[in-house]
Amino acid sequence: MRFELVPMPDGVGARPRDGRGYPVPAITPWHGGEPQFALTDRDRSADCALGRRCSVCGRLMERGPVWRVVGPAESAAIAGALAAGQPYRNLAPTMEGPGHRACMLYASMVCPYLARPNARRRGTAENAVGGDAADGLTSAAVRGAARGGLGAVVGFGDYEYAVTDNRVLFRFLDLVEFLPHESADEHLAALRAELAKPDRGR
Ligand SMILES: [Zn+2]
């Protein structure tokens, strides 16, 4: 979705921009004055983790649930667990840090890397499904292949992290909200509603 059509949380609006006007997430490294959207900066990510700050806007996350954007494989796993009436548990660590609900709804619609976080690290079939679809080449076959949609914005009751020498790893616990999408544009109404809440201009 064209980013200028998506309402920005205040914290996102306060981020530095790249040459096109895209807000640059808090965990994105800069090289030579250019943000490297496909990468996660270890020090920036560590600062966010240690300060309980949002990986998108960089502002404090209050106590309570946190959110992240997941790709098609994890979305399908969550959908499967819910359909089976089982708790969803995924103890595989990820480099994707948590954020505010509004920030992750925003990121799911605007940021191609956050919207398909697995695309940049693994050369799997999942990568091809998420990448092609997110690039506008969606087909009925692709839609049918992913029961959990092409991704999701997911809320978790808690998270834990570990800072190592070269990266920060997160684990997410206690699923509290599951918002799958076939197209991330579907989150526009949810984002508008989130931003309209009192004290939620983030
Ligand atoms: Zn935020």
185 in any annotated domain:
yes
15 in any annotated domain:
no
Report residues near ion ligand 1: CB below 5 Å.
Answer: 11, 54, 56-57, 99-100, 103
Alpha carbon distance 135, 30 (integer Å): 24
173 confidence band (pLDDT: 50, 70, 90):
very high
- Of 121, 141, 130, 132, nearest to 181 by C-alpha is 130
* CA 139–ligand 1 middle distance (angstroms): 32
42 in any annotated domain:
no
* CA 170–ligand 1 middle distance (angstroms): 17
| pLDDT tens digits for range 80-89 | 999 999 989 8
* CA 75–ligand 1 middle distance (angstroms): 22
200 confidence band (pLDDT: 50, 70, 90):
low
Alpha carbon distance 108, 80 (integer Å): 21
Alpha carbon distance 18, 165 (integer Å): 28
148 confidence band (pLDDT: 50, 70, 90):
low
Domain of 171, in residue numbers = 63-196
52 in any annotated domain:
no
Residue 77, both tokens? 């796993």
Alpha carbon distance 179, 154 (integer Å): 6
30 in any annotated domain:
no
How many domains in the chain? 1
Residue reference for tokens 């990448």 = 131
187 in any annotated domain:
yes
